[in-house]
Amino acid sequence: MALDPANYCLSERQMLLSIHWWEKLIIGYFVPLLILFGFTGNIINLTVLLAPGMKTRSNILLACLAVSDMIFLVFMLPHAMAHYPVFAFSYYFRKFYLGNKMHLIAVLNWSSAAAIWLVLTICVERLIGIRYPLSVRKARSFHTYLLIFGIISMTGLLTFYNHFSYDCVMKTFCNGTQPHAICMPVDSPVWINNRTNPHPHLLRAYVRWSPHVNALFVVFVPIVLVVLSNAFLILTLRQRQKFLQIGTNSTTSARSADHATIQMRMEQKVTITVCAIVTCFTITQAPSAVVTISAGYVQLGHPDWQIYMVTTTTFMVVVGKSLNFVLFCLSSANFRQRLVTMTKARLVKRRTTRKSKKVCKDEIFV
C-alpha cells in the first residue's frame, strides 16, 4: 500500500535544499554580496554606455553584455536564497523554487551562453576596429542590432533543452504544508517506482544529444576563439603602442596625420578596456567551461569533488560577472570622466529641484 504524503511529515534535514557546507558557504554567503555589487555596477555601466554621445558599436555590445550579466545575477539569487532555512522551510518559496528550478537553470545557461558569444563578438569587433579603423565608421547600428538578435536567438535554441531535461514530480507532505520534489532525467532508462519512462523517444534523444552540441558550440568553440582573438588583440595593442610612440616622437605636423593619430589613440583606449574585460572573462569563465565539458565525459571518483569543483567554478563565474564595473573604472579614463560628470550633473539637478520646491512652498505660505 502506497504511503499517503499528506499523512507523512518530512524532517528538517529532509526539507533542506542544500546540505553541503562548502556550497552553503560559497553560494549562500558570498554570492549574494557579489550579486548586489555586480547588479549595481552593471546598472552604472548601462547608464554611462547608453548616455547621449556614447552609443558606438562597441558600447552597444558592452551594454548587451551588461544586461546578460544582470539577468544571470538575478536568476542566480533564488539558488543563493535556497541555502537559508528561512526560505528553505517557507511554503511559498519551496513551491516557486522547486517548481521552477529547471527553468531558472535554463535562463542562467542561456544568459551565460549569450555572454560568451557577446564577448567573442566584442573582441573580434575591436580586433577589426583597431586593424581597419575605417570599417568602424562604415558599420551601421542596424547590423549591430541584427547581430545581437542572432546571438540571443542562437544561444536560446542551443540551451532550450534545459527547460525540460528533467521531469520534476512535486508532492505536498504533512497535510499540505511541505512541498517537495523529485527530479528525474528525461532520458533516464529507470523511472519512478520502476515504471517505464513515459517520454517519447524523440524527446529523450534530443535531451541526450543536446548537452554534447551545447558543450561544443556554447562552451568549447567560443572559449577557444575568445582566447585566440584576445591573444591577437593583445599582440595588436603592443604593435600599435610602438607605432604611436614613433608617431609621437616624429616631427610630422600635417593635420591629416594628427587626426589619424587621435583616431588611433581613441581606438587604442577602447581596445584596452575591451582587452581587460575579455581577459577577466577568460580567467573566470574558462574553469567553469572545463568542468562543464568534463562532467559529461569524465566520472569523478567521489561526489564531494564534483560539488567542490562546480561550486568553486560557479563562484568564479559570478565574480567575473560582477567585476565589469571595476574593470571599466580601472582601464577607461573616459568612462571615469563621464561617470563623474553625470554624477555631478544629477546632484546639481537634485539641488536645483529642492531649491525650487522650497521657493514654491515659501511663496505659498506668503
Structurally, the chain folds into a number of domains equal to 2
* Alpha carbon distance 356, 366 (integer Å): 15
- Say yes or no: 356 and 241 in one domain: no
CB proximity list for 213: less than 8 A, separation 6 or greater: 158
Is 200 inside a domain boundary? yes
**Domain span holding position 355:** 336-365
Is the domain of 327 the same as that of 349? no
318/341 same-domain check: no
Contacts 24+ apart (CB under 8 A), 179-184: 179/91, 179/94, 179/95, 179/98, 180/5, 180/10, 180/14, 180/15, 180/94, 180/98, 181/98, 181/99, 181/101, 183/101, 183/102
Contact partners, residue 247, CB within 8 Å, separation at least 6? 257, 261
Same structural domain for residues 241 and 360? Answer: no
Sign, CA dihedral 75-77-82-83, equals positive
Q: Radius of gyration of the chain from Cα atoms?
A: 26
**Residue 352 in grid coordinates:** 536645483
Q: Considering the domain boundaries, does residue 2 fall inside one?
A: no
**Which residues of the chain, if any, have pLDDT below 70?**
1-3, 133-140, 241-267, 296, 298-302, 355-366
pLDDT at residue 133, rounded to an integer? 64
Confidence (pLDDT) at 296? 66
Amino acid at 75: F
Same domain, 354 and 269: no
DSSP string, 199-249: S-HHHHHHHHHHHHHHIIIIIIHHHHHHHHHHHHHHHHHHHHHHHHHHHHH
Report if residue 6 sits inside a domain: no
Whether 1 is covered by a domain: the verdict is no
Q: Is residue 316 one of the residues assigned to a domain? A: yes
Q: How far is CA 90 from CA 10, 74, 81, in A?
A: 13, 20, 11
Q: Do residue 125 and residue 222 come from a single domain? A: yes
Residues 273 and 359 grouped into a single domain: no
Residue 7 counted as domain residue: no
The residue type found at 169 is V
pLDDT of residue 1: 42
Does 134 map to a domain? Answer: yes
Within-domain flag for 74: yes
128 and 273 inside one domain? yes
- Tell me, what CATH number does 325's domain have? 1.20.1070.10
Instruction: Report the candidate in 69, 73, 77, 146 with the shortest Cα–Cα distance to residue 113.
Output: 69
> Which tens digits make up the pLDDT trace of 265-301?
666 777 788 888 888 998 998 888 888 777 767 666 5
Show the cell assigned to 200. Answer: 517519447
Q: Around 265, how many Cα atoms within 13 Å sit in the side-chain half-sphere?
A: 12
Helical spans, DSSP H, in the chain: 12-15, 21-23, 31-49, 57-81, 85-88, 91-131, 133-138, 141-158, 201-214, 221-249, 255-295, 303-322, 324-331, 333-365
Residues 272 and 361 in one domain: no
Same domain (yes/no): 354, 321: no
Residues 206 and 342 in one domain: no
Local structure of 171: helix, strand or coil:
strand
Same domain, 346 and 313: no
